[in-house]
Amino acid sequence: MTDTSGKTIPRIGIIGGSGFQQLLGLTDAQAIHCDTAFGQPSSAVTTGYLAGVPVAFLQRHGPGHTIPPAAINAKANIAALRSVGCKQILSMSAVGSLSAEVPPGHFVLVDQFIDRTLMRDKTFFGPGLVGHVPFSDPVCGRMRQALAESAAAAGVAARDGGTYIVMEGPQFSTRAESMLYRQWGGNVIGMTAMPEAKLAREAELCYALVAIPTDFDCWHQSHEAVNAAMVSERMAQIGASARRLVEEAVKRLGSHDGDCRCGCDRALETAVMTAPALRDPDMLARLLTVAPNATHLLPR
């Protein structure tokens, strides 16, 4: 992946969620079936070029939407995208809105999360290799700035910044829960951003998420109750705007070069607590498949 001057062009990983099952406009498409150290990803990774920029696309819920939120192998998904050369991940996520300020069709460039999930494997670390990455700012600021510029260029209504409540699911919220999350300052609610964002940070990848409200959550009592059919129908209606935003975004993200100003690509520099002599070699080897620049963790 080099340009005419021989300069390496970074590949952009794109994760599509509900209603974003394919990447239209992709050229030189090739499906790659990845076998990672963490198992099989949700789908084959489709590589190619979008607007002349190398990209890789993965379907979060699998072809035909067969994988429920808590069963998504997010570790394998991140590992698969890393294995084909991705350094930045753009995540697209259908959500419910918790605010009248972000009605259906008005995107949110998320900058914070509240993780309410309980049943998911959320880390590449564990017994034998203990690590704690910084996560106060879970989204890459450089990527989010590019997304805000892209939304303006694409004529897409988007709120720059917002808090995504990540619920376990697969059921939608009760009305009492929805009201509580509004009091917490949540702007949107969904089921899939965690542990995806946490794992991307541990893999030293830049990560950003575009939340796409398809409905008002059940707090909005004058609005009909959310259901799966509604989400699919609304995503079909919003799809053209999402595709315009993604195409504009990859043009800007593809120009990112050098170290990330947010430190996403250096998240493991001070993260590992385990003494070098006691680090589990098998766990370390698996970690290096998703964070290949973390060779400083190897015993000297």
Q: Is 60 annotated as a binding residue?
A: yes
Identify the CA nearest to 98 among candidates 157, 162, 161, 160: 162
Q: Consult the annotation and say whether 111 binds a ligand.
A: no
Residue with tokens 């493991």: 268
Distance separating alpha carbons of residues 8 and 259, to the nearest angstrom: 14
Residue 273's contacts (CB-CB under 8 Å, 6 or more residues apart) are 130, 131, 132
β-strand 86-97 against 188-190: which pairing, if any?
antiparallel
Tell me the two tokens of residue 280: 């589990």
To the question of whether residue 44 is assigned a binding role by annotation, the answer is no
Tell me if 216 is assigned to a ligand binding site: yes
Q: How far apart are CA 106 and CA 214, in angstroms?
A: 9
Helical (H) or strand (E) element with 47 = strand 45-50
CA dihedral defined by 189, 195, 197, 202, rounded to 10 degrees? 160
265 catalytic residue (yes or no): no
Task: Please confirm whether the linkage preceding 170 is cis (ω < 30° from 0).
Answer: yes
173 is known to lie in a ligand binding site? no
Q: Is 93 annotated as a binding residue?
A: yes
Task: Give me the catalytic one of 215, 257, 265, 282.
Answer: 215
Asked if 215 is an active-site residue, the reply is yes
111, 115, 217, 265: the catalytic one is 217
Alpha carbons 160 and 35: distance in angstroms, whole number: 36
Indicate the helix (H) or strand (E) that contains 74. helix 74-83
CA-wise closest residue to 73 among 85, 89, 61, 56: 61
- 220 known member of a binding site: no
Q: Is 255 annotated as a binding residue?
A: no
Q: Is 217 annotated as a binding residue?
A: yes
The answer to whether 191 is a known ligand-binding residue is yes
Question: Which residues participate in catalysis according to the annotation?
Answer: 215, 217
Annotated binding site for phosphate: which residue ranges? 18, 60-61, 93-94, 192
Annotated binding site for substrate: 191, 215-217
What residues are designated binding site?
18, 60-61, 93-94, 191-192, 215-217
